[in-house]
Amino acid sequence: MAVIHRTVLNPTKLELLTGWLPSRPWYQGGQGTPELVKAGGFRLDDPEGEVGIEFMVVTDTSGAGATCYLVPLTYRGAPLDGAEHALIGTMEHGVLGRRWAYDGCHDPVLIAQLLALIAGKAEAQDQNISDTPDREVTRSSAAPAPEGFSADATDDQEGTELRAADGTALRLQRVLRPGGDDEAALPPEVIGHVAGAWSLPDGIPVRGLFAALRTGSRA
């Protein structure tokens, strides 16, 4: 199990994301600087114990209406070869030293563990407490996920998508909206999903779809 260290990060995760989010195609804000607050999320364990994996939900309150985003992150003790385009920035960790923070959709360790979560072979962990499962995260799998997902993720105005060689798509919903996580109501092409919880700016807890595994092309 990953250990959550109570220490100082410089810069903080939110400070890194404040500079990075406006560069994303799915960012819904205007020209001003994002005003971010942490709204939820969960962690996954790297079986090798080398890579930190976090699915963070942040809310941007800078616009007329607050927008919630899902930001999958990986934290590494050394640069990931070939992933310079996915680097969000570096942080100085009070215990672990320098950490390289990446957009996890381009990190094969995160993708492998997300697929393992969908398949029921990995368990979501609490974002803030060591060795504690996150019971708010739910998942389903109607068929085995194919192998060979490319780490070449594609962003659009709503999310990020990766493709396997057989055309199966793994889509992460970057702009979060409450609802849509009822397994019975998911489209028939969805063969697996992950849903979770976060809090709105007024403190109201909500749930929604985080990721979906789809056969063939999206409708």
Q: What is the tens place of the pLDDT at every residue in 72-121?
A: 999 999 999 999 999 999 998 767 778 999 999 999 999 999 999 999 99
pLDDT(175) > 70: yes
Q: Return the domain boundaries, the chain.
A: 9-214
pLDDT at 149: 86
Per the CB < 8 A criterion, the answer to whether 53 and 45 are in contact is: yes
Residue type (1 letter), 23 = S
Which phi-psi region, left, alpha or beta, contains residue 118 (left: φ > 0; alpha: ψ -120 to 50)? alpha
Measured torsion, CA atoms of residues 211, 66, 75, 41, in degrees rounded to the nearest 10? -50
pLDDT at 35: 96
pLDDT, tens only, 13-65: 999 999 999 999 999 988 889 999 999 999 999 999 999 999 999 999 997 78
SS3 state of residue 82: coil
Find the mean pLDDT for residues 146-163.
89
> Which tokens hold the place of 152?
């070449």
- The CA R_g of the chain, rounded to the nearest whole Å, is 16
d(CA 199, CA 152): 31
pLDDT(168) > 90: yes
Q: Give residue 7's pLDDT band: very low, low, confident or very high (50, 70, 90).
A: low
Percentage of residues in the chain having pLDDT higher than 90 = 74
pLDDT at 6: 61
Per the CB < 8 A criterion, the answer to whether 17 and 61 are in contact is: no
Per the CB < 8 A criterion, the answer to whether 73 and 103 are in contact is: yes
pLDDT, tens only, 38-49: 999 999 999 999
pLDDT at 218: 45
Find the mean pLDDT for residues 124-146.
91
CA atoms within 13 A on the CB side of 165: 3
CB proximity list for 203: less than 8 A, separation 6 or greater: none
pLDDT(5) > 70: no
- Write down the mean pLDDT value for the chain: 91
SS3 state of residue 118: helix
Sign of CA dihedral 89, 137, 210, 139: positive
pLDDT(202) > 70: yes
pLDDT(181) > 90: no
Q: Please report where in the chains the tokens 């085995």 appear, as a residue.
A: 144
pLDDT at 173: 97
